[in-house]
Amino acid sequence: MIKDSTTLEILVQLNKRFDADSLPEMIELQNEFEVFSSKRSLQQAFALLGIVPTDWSERRRWYKFLDHLKKYPSDLPKINGHDRVIKAFKDGLAAEKPIPISIKCHSAAEDPRVTVAKGRPVVFTIETHLIVSIPTTPGREVRKQVAEIARKRRAAKKK
């Protein structure tokens, strides 16, 4: 839904905003303004925090992707991917001993769910993070899938 380069840009923004150095400020913002709550969408929360693509043409697609997370399953029963991300940030920032929050992507083909777990997001990190993992499909794969579907439709029309 968004360019691969935009995905990388957003991951950097998110992971910097919720790292150990920024965490105290994020906790204060959450306590004061309830940035992450059932009253707000992810689009609203991330826009409030300035977590948006620098390319204006990508912003609409980014917001569409965030809204599309409502159609994703999650690792919790009866909670969609969108609401699971909100819950992870809300609970993580309200924890008795908050830890940094990292966002990463995993293959949607391997697991279509939004998942949340504690661990080390990258090998050189020694501290435990709350890791929110979003299922994704590389843009190249999506374009191949769309092209294949179009070929099959054209072939079916010729029959």
pLDDT tens-place string over residues 108-153: 999 999 999 999 988 888 899 999 999 988 767 666 776 787 888 8
Whole-number pLDDT of residue 142: 65
Rounded Cα distance, 77 and 80, in Å: 8
Please report, rounded to a whole number, the percentage of residues in the chain having pLDDT higher than 70.
Answer: 96
User: What pLDDT shows up at residue 123?
Assistant: 86
The pLDDT tens digits along the chain (159 residues) read 678 788 899 999 999 999 999 999 999 999 999 999 999 999 999 999 999 999 998 999 999 999 999 999 999 999 999 999 999 999 999 999 999 999 999 999 999 999 999 999 888 888 999 999 999 887 676 667 767 878 888 888 887
Provide the pLDDT for residue 118. Answer: 97
Tell me, rounded to whole angstroms, the distance of Cα 24 from its chain centroid: 21
Predicted structure pTM score = 0.87
In DSSP terms, 106 is beta-bridged to 135
Cα 124 to Cα 8, 38, 43, 127, 128: the distances in Å are 19, 34, 31, 9, 11
pLDDT at 99: 97
- For 18, phi then psi, to 5°, come to -120, 20
Q: Are 105 and 133 in contact (CB under 8 A)?
A: yes
State the sign of the Cα–Cα–Cα–Cα dihedral 116, 117, 121, 123: negative
Distances in whole angstroms, Cα of residue 104 to Cα of each of 12, 44, 78 = 10, 20, 22
- In this prediction, residue 152 carries a pLDDT of 84
Structure tokens at 37: 């709550």
